[in-house]
Amino acid sequence: MTPYEQLRIAEIGNSDGANQHDAPTREAAEEAVRTLIAWLGDNPDREGLLDTPARVVRAYEERFEGYDEDPVAHLQRTFEEVEGYQEMVLLRNIEFSSFCEHHMLPIIGVAHVAYVPNGRVVGISKLARVVESFAKRLQIQEKLTAQIANTINEVLRPKGVAVAIDAVHHCMTTRGVRKPGVSMLTKQLIGCFESDTGLRHEFLSHIAKT
């Protein structure tokens, strides 16, 4: 691996600038939740809310654990004994939940991830872990789609990568314009998925059957 490739992989793994600043203490985070409860007009010291700040912080630790994960690390172990297999590998319906970085409301959806191997493959669970690593951060769907596709492309060096995400954004369905039932579809096509019309249609037809 060249020094440039090592640098690019490091940039991908830390593409959100995760952990690049000094994080506040847990106590400060809990106090922020107390302040928000009071701002809403409720009493953070009443019985039902007394332990809520601690619960919220624990829940956020779980929901945003992607900041403590390196997506690149999930793709480091690959297998070359594939008997010359060079067709599309497709993992459909990877369920995920994320949070919109504009309103901090849920994004709930599924990701479809495909690649065409170039001499080596990766365990399929690792593709799902890459999705989770990026999803468990503050996100917009377009960026999430590109991060997943670009990371797989940079690390595995396949002949092509395709990622499609179909998700519901609660910042649109439960507030603002309040349009329930509306979902958003994004896709990122790299390499042969972009240049080969037949392969692209095959990928899209497979995910349309889900």
Express each pLDDT in 158-174 by its tens digit: 999 999 999 999 999 99
Is residue 70 within 8 A of residue 94, CB to CB? The reply is no
List all residues 6 or more positions away from 97 whose beta carbon is below 8 Å from its beta carbon.
63, 106, 107, 108, 135
Report, as residue numbers or ranges, the catalytic residues. 100-103, 141, 169, 171
Task: Confirm whether 1-63 and 70-208 share one CATH topology.
Answer: no
Is residue 137 within 8 A of residue 64, CB to CB? The reply is yes
Give the pLDDT score at 157. Answer: 96
Cα 96 from Cα 108, distance rounded (Å): 6
- The share of the chain scoring above pLDDT 90, in percent, equals 85
- CATH for 1-63, options being 1.10.286.10, 3.40.50.300, 2.40.110.10, 1.10.3720.10: 1.10.286.10
Domain residue spans of the chain? 1-63, 70-208
pTM of the model: 0.89
Task: Kindly report, residue by residue over 107-131, the tens digit of the pLDDT.
Answer: 999 999 999 999 999 999 999 999 9
* Per-residue confidence band for 7, with pLDDT thresholds at 50, 70 and 90: very low
165 strand-pairing partners: 111, 186
Task: Kindly report, residue by residue over 57-116, the tens digit of the pLDDT.
Answer: 999 999 999 999 999 999 999 999 888 898 999 999 999 999 999 999 999 999 999 999
Domain 70-208 in CATH 3.30.1130.10: yes
